Each structure stands twice: as structure tokens, then as C-alpha cells.
Amino acid sequence: MDTWVKLLRQHKAIAIIRCDNFDLAYNMAQAVAAAGMNLIEITWNSDRPAQLISQLREELPHCTIGTGTILDANQLAAAVDAGAQFAFSPCFDAQLLKTSLSCHKIPFIPAIFTPTEAITAWQQGAKVVKVFPIKSLGGAEYIKCLQRPLGHIPLIPTGGVTVENAVQMIDAGAIAVGISSSLFPSLAIANQQWLAITERTRIMLTQLQTTKLSSI
């Protein structure tokens, strides 16, 4: 887990890929990896996620490939078997967190919505929590508010992080951000403009690396 936290501090961003077309999802992952994105999440409700995770693990050994939208223990076990190196959930399920800690060695990151959920998840073993959906919670200002009393809990906002506001999230105290649709404009995907996505990702990563280090 210490290694996972170090990776988050270093890279500051996770590309979240959710796609119902295997080939498009594969090219999305390759496009962001070409820009230097080292943390890539393939959501479990994508097309053939286990196959894609396994293939990306083989082809992108310099990247850390994980999964998201994990809702139960069976999905988590299948993701681990496929080679997922981390797993996110869109909710806080105490039993699922307990299962992840007792049965699997990969980082498992539950989502929280309130300070109470954040503290509860931390007390039950979560070393990092996902703040979701950040757009509905007030964006970077909510991260800043959580940081004041809960600065010991590393936060990853998702669900409303954009290329334009990612730096604000880090400056507010987030250890990293999870970013999805903003990296992959629908028109660029439709026209398979992978070089444009690579450049868009590279610009964001450069901006993130010039921000101050998270205080967490």
C-alpha cells in the first residue's frame, strides 16, 4: 500500500476508461499511455474488461493497470485473476473492503460521499478513498473543506474531474485525480483521433507535474 500511495503522489492522475467496445477501449488506453499516463483503470462494466486488463498488463509493463466499478466480491476476485493491480468501487461497502483486505493483495479504493463515510472507511482499513461524484459535491472546494479536518486521509476525486480543473483538485489537497470523459472527447473517439487524445493527455500531465506536491 505504501508503494501505491507513492505512485499516486508521483503521477497524480488515473485515466479511467469505460467503453462498450473492446477495440476502442484498447486504443484509448494506448493513447494515454503514449502520453506518459502510468495509471490506467479499465472499468469492470466495459467490454471484456478481464481480457483487456490482461492484454494491457502484457503490452504496457511500465504502466499500472487496474479496474473500477467493482460492486461485489466475485467481480473483485475476477479482476485480480485477470491481473488488475488496483481496484476502485463507486461506493463504500464495508464487507467488500474487508474482503479485499483479507483475501487480496492489491489496493482497493472505496468511494465516499460524506466526511462520515471517509472516516469510517479509513477506520476500517482503507488507506486511500475516492471522493465521488466530485462534480455534485462542489468540486475542488469540497476537497479543500475535507482536507481541513481529514488531512490524514488521501483523497482521489472522480466523477467530474476535467482537463481544465484537475490542477485545482491537486492544489486543493487531492493526492491524485481520476479522469475519464474529459480525456476522451466523444468526437475524437468517433473519429479515432488517438494522437489528439495523446497530446491532450500530455498537456494535462505536464500541468499536474508543475503543481505543488499534495500536503497529504
**What ranges do the domains of the chain cover?**
2-209
- Which of 7, 9, 32 lies closest to 86, judged by CA? 7
C-alpha cell of residue 84: 488488475
- Cβ atoms of 170 and 214 within 8 Å: the answer is yes
Summarised one tens digit per residue, pLDDT across range 111-144 is: 999 999 999 999 999 999 999 999 999 999 999 9
What is the assigned CATH class of domain 2-209? Answer: alpha beta
Query: 131 with 156: CB under 8 angstroms?
Result: yes
Asked if residue 35 lies in contact with residue 205, where contact means CB atoms within 8 angstroms, the answer is yes
* CB 123 within 8 Å of CB 131: no
pLDDT single digits (tens) 50-83: 999 999 999 999 999 999 999 999 999 999 999 9
